[in-house]
Amino acid sequence: MITANNSPLRRQVAELVVVRASGHASDHQRRYPRWEQSNKKLQRLLSDGVGGVILLGGTTTELISRCKNLRQWAQAPLLICADVEEGVGQRFEGGTWLVPPLALGQLFQKEPERAVALAERYGRCTGQQAKSCGLNWVLAPVCDINNNPANPVINVRAWGEDPQTVAELICAFERGLCSAGILGCAKHFPGHGDTETDSHLELPIVGHNQERLNNEELVPFRAAIASGIESVMTAHLLIQCLDQQRPATLSAAVLKHLLRDELNFQGLIVTDALVMESISRSHGSGEAAVMAFEAGADLILMPEDADEAIDAICAAITSGRIGLPQLNAARQRRHLALEKVNNNSQATNTLQVSNEKTSELESEADRILARELVEASLQVRHPKSIQSVDSGINLLRVDSLLPCPMLAADAPALTLPSSSNFQPLICHNLGLSPWQPNPKHPLALERLGDGSILLQLFLRGNPFKGRKDASEPWTEAVQQLQRDSRLAGLIVYGSPYLWEQLQQVLDADIPAAYSPGQMPEAQLQALNALLATNEPQPATGPTKFNEFTD
Amino acid sequence: MITANNSPLRRQVAELVVVRASGHASDHQRRYPRWEQSNKKLQRLLSDGVGGVILLGGTTTELISRCKNLRQWAQAPLLICADVEEGVGQRFEGGTWLVPPLALGQLFQKEPERAVALAERYGRCTGQQAKSCGLNWVLAPVCDINNNPANPVINVRAWGEDPQTVAELICAFERGLCSAGILGCAKHFPGHGDTETDSHLELPIVGHNQERLNNEELVPFRAAIASGIESVMTAHLLIQCLDQQRPATLSAAVLKHLLRDELNFQGLIVTDALVMESISRSHGSGEAAVMAFEAGADLILMPEDADEAIDAICAAITSGRIGLPQLNAARQRRHLALEKVNNNSQATNTLQVSNEKTSELESEADRILARELVEASLQVRHPKSIQSVDSGINLLRVDSLLPCPMLAADAPALTLPSSSNFQPLICHNLGLSPWQPNPKHPLALERLGDGSILLQLFLRGNPFKGRKDASEPWTEAVQQLQRDSRLAGLIVYGSPYLWEQLQQVLDADIPAAYSPGQMPEAQLQALNALLATNEPQPATGPTKFNEFTD
């Protein structure tokens, strides 16, 4: 190590690093022990002055406890953030889980005012719950425009497919966040919508010229900056017209010249996670951090090795490669941001006390919002037309079962079809394959058994999958089931592009539904809409005694 | 309702009822909303004087928070219990999860002193962690003797297969619990070992005579009583030689005459859950509670409707069917039990504060114990002999994936075989079937793909399954794989009976291992023992970046 752990310079630099930790209390509960600091290391880093933590995993009760502990360990104002783009419940069980933003982008085309009002409530709900849990910084809104349906990483996370829609909705979201007294973050600058490469895995290259960027990708960022967004997160993208060599995260042309000078952004610039392979493959922790800081970033998010990042920046300052004024400016921006949210610490405490009293984080208004968002984005063909059968199959396809937060044992997607005698059969990434090598008959039907099939596809085009799902022949499978008169119904939860594609081959008489959301509320509404059972059913879970005290 | 909610009599009766609640904070996080009280109802019941809560689900951080809330709501000393028979980690993520007790029953045959010492540490670890979380009553030890390998509900939960082993080990466990300052519970009186029926689903009938019961089933209970166990839980069993009509839970012959008078038990008698179908099928909440109380039970566990149970007992007292002295005696026993554990409330607070400081519930001693228990019960054939392959299959069979606490995405059972190129394929209760209707070739190999197969069976003979797993032809499947020279290795996690059965057909050269435990530590040790990789690997989880901030 170049400087002593507690030299004043090192502490000042450490303030600008944001490390990742699990939302769980114990080390052995970590899901990603390689990336998530152990408690011992976390305590040491915080006592060395590290100024930010990004949390993932666990429940909201754990998050509350975790944030308290982190603040005790830090003994200085701390930025605590999470990627709660779709409500706190997206990342922390117990919070409200909202439909993905693209749902509102679609609603905006028909009912712009309603969409804007919902987006503001979306931001307020997310911000209030995040704050009640102890976070002070929400890493949202996504300001990317999903102008490329094949985008593997943005997709339904975007607020729309065109600049104006996204700009309107993210400003509304930001107003909601702001009213809750929590910091927001516009990402991923200068726009990650038109890529077909997952930057978690490799560096995407964007070939658009400056005029196109100006008229398209930059529009929502300009709006976010005008509306007072407190931070902007950089993208790991090579934008050739701006910088031939360096990805945006490491490019002074993008961060200093475009974002600071041209767009006049005065808030915090934070890198996307430096461990992402599009960066870490080419640059070590130290050099990546120095390059990002040199390029104009204020905060260094998730360097693979936090000490290395801090030491390398210290060395760059000591050697004169980076000037002290830049360090001071970054610290000052962080200080101002923290001041803004720490004013409201009294309010936070009050909220937390009231939570402890009722045990409920989610308010009645939050529940109504979650329900209304599902209603507003649900599409249904032939309502109430799936009849009960003697013996049918409820065929579900999910991205992953380990874990599968939308599919607990009492999920409506399992229990409601069961009450019409469609028995669940779950296909997932680690399960037996339902496919056979026959292009026109891709489903190996003898593996599924007899009876008509209700098909529920939970596919939203997640990152990290390398578009594997896209190679599954669901279009041909739907055609095959129709030819055999075995398709009782179809529900797509997630990707609107998959839904559009399947609608093109769907026979006119097949009951079908689409929801951008995958959460239990979306399942409940879609199935209540399609199943011809007498009454809409609440999600009461198992009705037979089946797990108890032994 | 017969009496006003707050009549003194009703409050006194309410003290004796134990209701079930989720360990999670919010109503919408409940896994079994039909059985778990909503927070609103729970608050009302506690304010009406209900004196006990049994918790299930969630993490230890949530449990700590939950217990605090419950005590605030009750504003009177409260019994808070959980079925943490195999360590707090069995029911609450974040706690230590220990191998099932039968592992020590087997060790006792070879090394009795070591087994006794381990059982005492087992009790201490469980008791200390339970107490740190806010519980004051552990519903263990199981005192049943697993003298029937076909028992669907006791099985590896028992401490042995003969009376002396069980008696020695449960007393050691109880000493450990006691040293932690927490109440224990001997169950299920008068012995649930020799049944082939799952009492969660229907009422088992036991035909043994009194002499046999005296020399076998009652031995561990006598030992538990002699060692000062604070409570005994009744079994939902019809013991014909004791009572021709009524199950033990509702039988005065069993509770008053045998347990109180003959065995001279002075502590709390608590029913097993009255919602279990072996009781609830024949008796409503009110009548079942009255019958149990009349028969000699002090505490009524999980009546389907707590108010109905309280009102019915009140009515029985008012009408003279039950005498006031019995009510007072039950309350006095509860009072004495609570006094015993509330003495140590100072210690609890200290522990909780130290936990908050480190965030770790599990001590180094707990970790060592968990590891040592796995080591002491691991069986291995042909260590270090499974070579890396070009392309193999890691075929896992688990009871259930929703949820599957031993199989997170970073579980050693998935990651370690992957590093030898055995790719995971998970069979589970809701997945596609690997079976075809061919008795000698039961596995449909074309569904699995090519390559040699490492078979990992997570089957422990759980309750609620109606012995469905037993009907899967794993013996024939192992023979089939051996004939085809495709079996690279076999690991059984759970049932020793399945392991014995498979060993009988296993070729002499096949690497194989058995652990009674299913937790990650058991996976780690079994796979490190079998895989011919250079170094034992710690459970570090995914080594590639694959879920992060977006």
Q: How far apart are CA B239 and CA B248, in angstroms?
A: 7
Distance of residue B54 Cα from the nearest chain A Cα, in angstroms: 8
* Residue B512 and residue B531 in contact, taking contact as beta carbons nearer than 8 Å: no
- Residue A467 pLDDT more than 50? no
Q: What is the pLDDT of residue A542?
A: 46
The span from the CA of B517 to the CA of B525, in Å, is 11
Active-site hit among B27, B48, B162, B200 = B200
User: Is a pLDDT exceeding 80 seen at residue A3?
Assistant: no
Torsions phi, psi of B489, nearest 5? 175, 165
Say yes or no to pLDDT of A234 above 50. Answer: yes
Residue of A nearest to B301 (CA): A549
Mean pLDDT score across all residues of chain B? 91
Query: Is residue A450 annotated as a catalytic residue, yes or no?
Result: no
Dist CA B324 CA B340 (whole Å): 24
Q: Are A541 and A410 in contact (CB under 8 A)?
A: yes
In this prediction, residue B537 has a pLDDT band, given cuts at 50, 70 and 90, of low
Look up residue A525 and give its amino acid.
Q
Render pLDDT for A58-71 as a digit per residue (tens, 0 to 9). 999 999 999 999 99
* pLDDT the model gives residue B534: 57
What proportion of chain B, given as a percentage, has pLDDT over 90? 81
Q: What is the mean pLDDT of residues A167-193?
A: 97
Cα A9 to the center of its chain, rounded Å: 35
Q: What is the pLDDT of residues B250-264, one digit of tens each?
A: 999 999 999 999 999
Strands (E) located in B14-63:
17-22, 52-56
Give helix then strand counts, H and E, for chain B: 19, 16
Point out the catalytic residue in the list A144, A272, A307, A399.
Answer: A272
Instruction: Output the pLDDT for position A292.
Output: 97
Pairing label, strands B487-494, B422-427: unpaired
Q: What is the mean pLDDT of chain A?
A: 91
Please check whether residue B27 is in contact with residue B39, taking contact to mean a CB–CB distance below 8 angstroms: yes
Report yes or no: B169 and B108 within 8 Å, Cβ to Cβ: yes
In this prediction, the answer to ipTM > 0.85 reads: yes
Is B390 or A356 the better-scoring residue by pLDDT?
Answer: B390
- The pLDDT of residue B90 is 96
Q: Cis bond leading into A403, ω under 30°?
A: yes
Q: In what order do the strands lie in the sheet with B487-494?
A: B379-381, B512-515, B487-494, B453-459, B392-398, B422-427
Q: Report how far apart, in Å, the C-alpha atoms of B317 and of each of B17, B300, B325 are.
A: 15, 15, 10
Q: Are B162 and B106 in contact (CB under 8 A)?
A: no
* SS3 label, residue A380: strand
What is the average pLDDT across A421-439? 94
pLDDT, residue A200, reads: 76
Q: Is the pLDDT of residue B541 over 60?
A: no
Residue of chain A whose Cα is closest to the Cα of B157: A550
Whether A188 and A234 have beta carbons less than 8 Å apart is answered as yes
Count of CB atoms situated within 10 Å of the CB of A315: 16
Tokens of B256: 């008053």
Q: How far is CA A158 from CA A85, A142, A171, A223, A343, in A?
A: 10, 6, 13, 15, 31
* Residue pairs spanning A and B at CB distance below 8 A: 252
Q: Is the pLDDT of residue B180 over 60?
A: yes
Amino acid letter, residue A54: I
**Contacts with B346 (C-beta within 8 Å, 6 or more apart), sequence order:** none
CB B84 within 8 A of CB B361: no
Average pLDDT, stretch A477-486? 97
Whether residue A36 is predicted with pLDDT greater than 70 in this model: the reply is yes
Q: Is B85–A404 a contact, with Cβ atoms under 8 angstroms apart?
A: no
Q: How far is A515 from chain B (nearest CA, A)?
A: 21
Say what the pTM is: 0.92
Residue ranges of chain B assigned to CATH 3.20.20.300: 15-358
Cβ distance B25 to A361 less than 8 Å, yes or no, reads yes
pLDDT, tens digit, 9 for 90 and up, residues A289-304:
999 999 999 999 999 9
The Cα A259–Cα A445 span in angstroms is 55
| Range of lowest pLDDT (A318-332, B212-226, B316-330, B333-347) | B333-347
Residue B138 has pLDDT above 50, yes or no: yes
Residue from A162, A200, A305, A382 carrying the catalytic annotation: A200
Per-residue model confidence as pLDDT tens digits over B322-369 = 999 999 999 999 999 999 997 655 444 444 444 455 678 999 999 999
Which of A31, A61, A301 lies at the smallest CB-CB distance from B61?
A61
Asked whether B17 and B300 are in contact (CB, 8 A), the reply is: yes
Domain(s) of CATH 3.40.50.10870: residues in chain B:
378-530
Q: Cβ–Cβ of B407/A408 closer than 8 Å?
A: no
As to burial, measured by CB atoms within 10 angstroms (0-12 exposed, 13-18 middle, 19+ buried), residue A508 is: exposed
Sort residue B485 into left (φ over 0), alpha (ψ -120 to 50) or beta. left
In angstroms, the CA B174 to CA B105 distance is 15
Catalytic residue among B272, B298, B307, B469: B272
- What band does A462 get if pLDDT is binned at 50, 70 and 90? low
Angle at B35 between CA B428 and CA A424, to 5 degrees: 25
The lowest-confidence range among A274-288, B231-245, B249-263 is: A274-288
pLDDT of residue B248 exceeding 90: yes
Per-residue pLDDT band at A281 (split at 50, 70, 90): confident
**Which pLDDT score is estimated for B32?**
86
**Local confidence band at A201 (pLDDT 50, 70, 90 cut-offs):** confident
- Out of B56, B362, B464, closest to residue A26 by CB: B362
Which residue does chain B place closest to A394, by CA atoms?
B430
Residue A152 has pLDDT above 90, yes or no: no
Cβ within 8 Å, pair B432-A430? no
pLDDT cut 70: percent of chain A above it: 91
Q: How many other β-carbons are positioned within 10 Å of the β-carbon of residue A313?
A: 28
Any idea what DSSP says for residue B299?
B
Helix ranges, A359-504 (H): 364-377, 412-419, 445-448, 474-483, 496-503
pLDDT at A479 over 90: yes
Q: Are A58 and A27 in contact (CB under 8 A)?
A: no
pLDDT at B546 over 50: no
Give the contacts of A309 (CB within 8 A, at least 6 positions apart): A17, A274, A285, A286, A288, A289, A300, A303
Q: Which residues of B touch A432 (CB under 8 A)?
A: 425, 427, 431-434, 447-448
* Strand (E) or helix (H) holding B187: strand B186-189
Q: Cα–Cα distances in Å, from A154 out to A162, A239, B80, B111, B182? A: 14, 17, 46, 59, 52
> Inter-chain contact A409–B425, Cβ cutoff 8 Å?
no
- What is the reported pLDDT for B194? 87
Nearest CA in chain B to A281: B545
Q: What whole-number distance in Å separates Cα of residue A188 and Cα of residue A270?
A: 10
Question: Quick one: pLDDT at residue B149?
Answer: 84
Region class of A392: left (phi > 0), else alpha (psi between -120 and 50), else beta: beta
Residue of A36, A305, A432 to mutate, testing the B interface (most B Cβ within 10 Å of its Cβ): A432
Mean pLDDT of B519-523: 97
The answer to whether B550 contacts A32, with C-beta atoms less than 8 Å apart, is no
Contact yes or no for B26 and A444 at CB 8 A: no
Gap between the Cα atoms of B529 and B186, Å rounded: 36
Q: How far apart are the C-alpha atoms of B414 and B426, rounded to whole Å?
A: 10
Per-residue confidence band for B538, with pLDDT thresholds at 50, 70 and 90: low
**B147–chain A nearest CA distance, Å:** 18
A512 and A503 Cβ atoms separated by less than 8 Å: yes
Fold of A15-358: TIM Barrel (3.20.20)
Active site residue A28: no
Q: Which of B153, B403, B543 sits opposite A550 (nearest CB)?
A: B153
Of B426, B463, B540, the CB nearest to A430: B426
Q: Across the interface, which of A414, A427, A546 has its CB nearest the CB of B464?
A: A546
Is CATH 3.40.50.720 the classification given to domain A378-530? no
Q: Single out the residue of B531, B519, B495 nearest to residue B158, CA to CA.
A: B495
* Inter-residue contact B439 to B471 (CB < 8 Å): no
Would the CB atoms of B403 and A410 count as touching at under 8 Å? no
pLDDT tens for each residue of B288-323:
999 999 999 999 999 999 999 999 999 999 999 999
State pLDDT tens for residues B444-476.
999 999 999 999 999 987 554 444 455 789 999
**For residues A141-160, b (16+ Cβ closer than 10 Å) or e, as one string?**
bbbbbbbbeebbbbbbbbbb
Q: Where are the alpha helices (DSSP H) in A180-217?
A: 210-215
Convert A255-280 to b/e letters by CB count within 10 Å (16 or more is b). bbbbbbeebebebbbbbbbbbbbbbb
Contact yes or no for B359 and A404 at CB 8 A: no
Q: By mean pLDDT, which of A259-273, A492-506, B190-204 is the weakest? A: B190-204
Q: What residues contact B139, with CB distance under 8 A and at least 6 apart?
A: A549, B54, B81, B82, B83, B84, B85, B185, B187, B233
Report whether pLDDT(A544) > 50. no
Query: pLDDT band at residue A350, thresholds of 50, 70 and 90?
Result: very low
Is A403 within 8 Å of B400 when comparing Cβ atoms? no
Of A139, A402, A432, the CB nearest to B549: A139
